[in-house]
Structure 1
Amino acid sequence: MFKNFIVIFCVLAIFSCSSENKNSTGEITFSFDSFPKVKELVGEKYVYDSILNAREIILKEEYIIVSNLGGNGKQLHFLDKNTLVYGKAVGKIGEGPGEIRSGIWELDAGLAKDSFWAYDLNGKSSYEFLLNDTSPLANRTIRQNEAWFLGYSMHWKSPNEIISYVTRDSYQFGIFDTLGNRTGSIEPWKKEEQVDEQTGYLLSNLYQGPIDYNPKNNILGHAAIQFEYFQLMNLNSGQSISLVGPKNYEVDYTVEQQGNELLAFVSEETKKGYSDIFIGEKSVFLVYIGKTSSERKKTGINSDMIFEFDMEGNPLTLYKTSVSISAITVSEKDRKIYALTSDKDPGIAVFKY
């Protein structure tokens, strides 16, 4: 059993930020007081009988699209972005052509104007759905092959490049073409040398959490859910920012050998980090948890805070929400945040910010 094993691998490149807020590992620290503005958000809430276990939410053209995790019903639900009126459901569970194998773990707006993508983690498949198609089946399916099998997410970088969080790897992300061939890598776990497969597996599990990518500005964001940490990577310049906060505690965890694997276990007393991240064109938004598992259970609140940063990692605004939320999508043009609520009667809350 080993304590604080991970810190030696977390020396990450920093750019465009003042060095006075860097800690010993090169990460930028911030606190609640770092936000120049604090704003209360009171949302208008909508509840739908067909969306009882929502996981992800995205904005695409005139639609809000919500994934409903589990069950045998349709997995993807369309709402009008202006009225929040329920439109249609697609994404049939099954083994046939265009059907979803198990359930939708992640959504990506994709590159085409008239479609979006849904990722089935357990089924190792990505599905393209057309916005205005009446069919409940996917228009296109990409299945991960053996070379890509250890990828755990999908975001489109270009028409033939998909970014995927990888495990058992010296890098955090791999780039794959649509045939499953690996064409590149993003952000090594350790700058000076490659880490082995076992360490890569341990780190990918320890740092797992929400991911988002904006192909318009080529910013990739990755946040940890088990503790306070998130990273912004500029794929144009190859530079990255790692940020820690707002409470700046020491992460209490152990690393244990189980069979042939090294596994990291974060203490139950550690405050959780982030349950979602949204990369906009001008700002980055994060859903901050800031509670232990027992505190979340006791209060019934996952998060009632959203942080807004600029693209250089500077804190802009701390938003306090009127209802507990778990995931968000943002219309910067309309200055609206659409959030999945995690209260007694879960639904969709719309906040004007």
Structure 2
Amino acid sequence: MKAKLNILLISILLVACKGNSPKSDFDFPANGKPIYTVKSTKTYLPELLSPYKIEIKQPFLIIFEDGSIPFEKPPIHLVDLNTLAYRVPKGINGQGPNEITNAQLFDTGFSDSTFWVNSSISKRMSEFSLYDSSLLSINEYRQPEDMYTAYQMLMITDSTFMCLTTSDNYKLVEYGADGKRVAGYGKWEPIPNRPELTNFMLTSINGGWFKKDPWDNLFVKAMAYRDKIEIFDYNAKQFITVDGPRLEIPPFQIGGSGAGAIAAYSREVKFGHRDIAFGKQFIYDLYGGFSEIDYKQTSRLAETIYILTKKGELVAKINLDRSLRSIAVNEELGKIYGITTDEDPGIAVFDIPKDLLDKN
């Protein structure tokens, strides 16, 4: 009888422990990681018409407009990092020399006085000065024909690029400045019970934000609907995968036929990761949790930031007091900057919880 009682007690303890164990690294508070709630101040700048992306290149915040602004208006703005005072616009829309058609990806580059922008429509990288008042770029690199299927590109060195492509079998493809393919990294994992999915469809299912860590040689893909972050360590040539908070793939539909068939999510599906920012210590993951329909009805898009190490280990969760669409981080100042999603979007500034930065 005593043996049976001991077995029963052990069984109860095992069930209790299992019930308290986290379902994933993002399972708060079961994972024991801290949760913070932070408040913001907001600055409205009338020069920003429809801002959708924010980046940092000391000593400036760099703001990108979306495609809804008038054609004659500049798509890029420089704002003083410390005072949030407006400085100068950048960019002239067009296909001519040193003009840009869109400002899709930001790259810090390798000079203290410039930054780069990838224009996916015109297939070029444009370099802008931080300190002159010219709207035109001061230098540009046009994609050679051999790399024409690359639709997003970031700089590995001043003569090599890491790209997302529409036709390659690999997730990331490295090219030289001559347009020649150097190497491919990582193949898409098949989705169970969906053998008909092509690499092109898998690229759509895993679509999202492609960013580069300016301090470490890391390239990060954060999926917009599927809750997955992939960190590629270029030096080690290794991927680190972070799954969650949702572990299942949201339902998607196949549209089109033949080689042009794509996979797409409906407007009812909740967004996953909405943006990625880098500090010297951590990766900052702006997480959604709202659908496109939610956003249209309430202007709520993303109100959570997960903080991870450069190895993909979850550190903390931050609840925001307002909704954002994009973030940038300066750990030296202890600040998170974001583009708000309210009726008059502006720049929100949050303090990073001090004890997070004091841990290292």
- Looking at structure 1, the residues matched to 296 and 95 of structure 2 have their Cα atoms a distance apart, in angstroms, of 36
Structure 1 position 62 matched with structure 2 position 52: no
Residue of structure 2 equivalent to 1:174: 173
1:217-256 equivalence runs, <5 A? 217-256=216-255
Whether the 8 Å CA contact 1:163–1:174 is kept in 2: the answer is yes
Structure 1 position 42 matched with structure 2 position 51: no
**Residues 95-138 of structure 1: CA deviation (Å, up to 9, x unaligned):** 332111x2211211112111101111212111100111222110
Q: Kindly tell me: are residues 257 and 96 of structure 1, through their superposed partners in 2, closer, same or farther at Cα, counting changes over 3 Å? A: closer
Residue of structure 2 equivalent to 1:144: 143
Residue of structure 2 equivalent to 1:53: 50
Q: Kindly tell me: are residues 37 and 132 of structure 1, through their superposed partners in 2, closer, same or farther at Cα, counting changes over 3 Å? A: same
Residue of structure 2 equivalent to 1:99: 99
Question: Aligned partner of 2:52: which letter?
Answer: R
1:261-300 equivalence runs, <5 A? 261-300=260-299
Q: Kindly tell me: are residues 35 and 201 of structure 1, through their superposed partners in 2, closer, same or farther at Cα, counting changes over 3 Å? A: farther
Whether the 8 Å CA contact 1:227–1:271 is kept in 2: the answer is no
Structure 1 position 118 matched with structure 2 position 117: yes
Question: Aligned partner of 2:28: which letter?
Answer: F
Structure 1 position 345 matched with structure 2 position 341: no
Question: Aligned partner of 1:48: which letter?
Answer: L
Whether the 8 Å CA contact 2:278–2:328 is kept in 1: the answer is no
Q: Structure 2: which 5+ runs fail to align?
A: 1-20, 191-196, 353-360
Q: CA deviation at 1:190?
A: 4.6
- Looking at structure 2, the residues matched to 180 and 39 of structure 1 have their Cα atoms a distance apart, in angstroms, of 46
SS at match of 2:202: helix
**TM value normalised by structure 1:** 0.85
- Looking at structure 2, the residues matched to 142 and 79 of structure 1 have their Cα atoms a distance apart, in angstroms, of 26
- Looking at structure 2, the residues matched to 149 and 218 of structure 1 have their Cα atoms a distance apart, in angstroms, of 24
Q: Which runs of 4+ in 1 moved over 4 A?
A: none
- Looking at structure 1, the residues matched to 152 and 142 of structure 2 have their Cα atoms a distance apart, in angstroms, of 12
**Residues 33-91 of structure 1: CA deviation (Å, up to 9, x unaligned):** 33611111211111112212112211111111111123221111111100000011111
1:196-211 equivalence runs, <5 A? 199-211=198-210
Q: CA deviation at 1:94?
A: 2.5
Residue of structure 2 equivalent to 1:185: 184
Residue of structure 1 equivalent to 2:28: 32
SS at match of 1:241: strand
How many residue pairs are counted as aligned between the two chains? 323
Q: CA deviation at 1:345?
A: 0.9
**Residues 171-207 of structure 1: CA deviation (Å, up to 9, x unaligned):** 111112233222222222259xxxxxx8221111221
Q: Structure 1: which 5+ runs fail to align?
A: 1-20, 192-197
- Looking at structure 1, the residues matched to 310 and 32 of structure 2 have their Cα atoms a distance apart, in angstroms, of 15
Whether the 8 Å CA contact 1:57–1:107 is kept in 2: the answer is no
SS at match of 1:339: strand
Whether the 8 Å CA contact 1:110–1:116 is kept in 2: the answer is yes
User: What is the percentage of aligned positions where both structures have the same residue?
Assistant: 26
- Looking at structure 1, the residues matched to 319 and 152 of structure 2 have their Cα atoms a distance apart, in angstroms, of 29
Question: Aligned partner of 2:42: which letter?
Answer: K
Q: Kindly tell me: are residues 298 and 227 of structure 1, through their superposed partners in 2, closer, same or farther at Cα, counting changes over 3 Å? A: farther
**Residues 147-169 of structure 1: CA deviation (Å, up to 9, x unaligned):** 21111222211121111111221
**TM value normalised by structure 2:** 0.83
- Looking at structure 2, the residues matched to 139 and 272 of structure 1 have their Cα atoms a distance apart, in angstroms, of 37
Structure 1 position 86 matched with structure 2 position 83: no
Q: Kindly tell me: are residues 114 and 35 of structure 1, through their superposed partners in 2, closer, same or farther at Cα, counting changes over 3 Å? A: farther
Q: Kindly tell me: are residues 223 and 35 of structure 1, through their superposed partners in 2, closer, same or farther at Cα, counting changes over 3 Å? A: farther
